[in-house]
Amino acid sequence: MPGIHEIEAKTLLAHVKQPDTWFGLKYNMNIYRGCQHQCIYCDSRSECYGIEEFGDVLVKVNAVDLLRQELPRKRVKGMIGTGSMSDPYTFVERRYNLMGRALAVIAEFGFPVHILTKSDMVLRDLDTLRTINDVHALVSFTITTTDDDLARKLEPGAPSPSRRLKALQTLAGHGIHTGVILMPVLPYLTDSEATISRIVDATAAHGAEFVLPAFGMTLRDRQRAYYYDQLDALFPGLRARYEARYGGQYHCVPENTARLRTLFYERCAAHGLATQVSRYMPPAQSQQLPLF
């Protein structure tokens, strides 16, 4: 049975070793392991991440204390990112408020932040984000379709795309940097030109600064098994098309990718939307370390 389990973590912030050209991160932070949004395509189910029961959420109850210890020891005040392995605004956050309290600590120490989420719960922390934005606060919402009904099947636990877009608009209205992560693009489900156009148009209409795309999806071991089971339940017949086209491939790219790319870049240019995050990254600052 899926459940919520409290754990004591040893560390919180992980260094991002290579320069992160995708999200601009220097440090990565995951307060939770597992995610209640339960997107059917989620890569975090893959065996390499070692999360046996992805329906479970492990709550790092000492996360805020760890952050308070770790931040003063960082040589560089680089971008702290969160949301790549589990959504920081998964439902359980409503009960624990660990993300809200972590942001308050980040504001206190003057670090920039990049939050990736599918939830409008982020609005709860608007005041703290405005303070962080004195340095730099960026919130990116993942949008794979603007169709709320389809999203309910693909991302059954996450707030609808329309709620995400409204939240984006509110944040942008308060000067917070915002963008859309357009990934994954699921073959035969979200790879139509109409889907891509609607996402780009909606991103521009709600005041975001950029859309970051990845045309296709990854599929491996447990992630593939779960995705195919969900295809059988929700979209009968589709698994056979995947198996015929992709076999055991890791990268699964839609047949019409070249057309989608052209359309995407043309439409972004027409709206004046950037297609990468790096343009919005502030330069990393050094900080004086305590002597003892």
Smallest distance from ligand SF4 to CB 276, Å: 20
Q: Which is nearer to ligand SF4, 86 or 140 (CB)?
A: 86
Q: Which is nearer to ligand SF4, 37 or 77 (CB)?
A: 37
CB 180 within 8 A of CB 211: yes
State the burial class of residue 72 (Cβ atoms within 10 Å of its Cβ: 0-12, 13-18, 19+): exposed
Smallest distance from ligand SF4 to CB 39, Å: 3
Q: Which is nearer to ligand SF4, 28 or 133 (CB)?
A: 28
Q: Which is nearer to ligand SF4, 73 or 94 (CB)?
A: 94
Smallest distance from ligand SF4 to CB 271, Å: 26
Smallest distance from ligand SF4 to CB 185, Å: 14
**Token pair belonging to 212:** 């970051």
Smallest distance from ligand SF4 to CB 183, Å: 10
Q: Which is nearer to ligand SF4, 20 or 155 (CB)?
A: 155
Q: Which is nearer to ligand SF4, 86 or 178 (CB)?
A: 86
Q: Which is nearer to ligand SF4, 226 or 265 (CB)?
A: 226
Smallest distance from ligand SF4 to CB 90, Å: 7
Q: Which residues of the chain form contacts with ligand SF4 (CB under 6 A)?
A: 35, 37-39, 42, 44, 86-87, 118, 155, 158
Smallest distance from ligand SF4 to CB 213, Å: 16
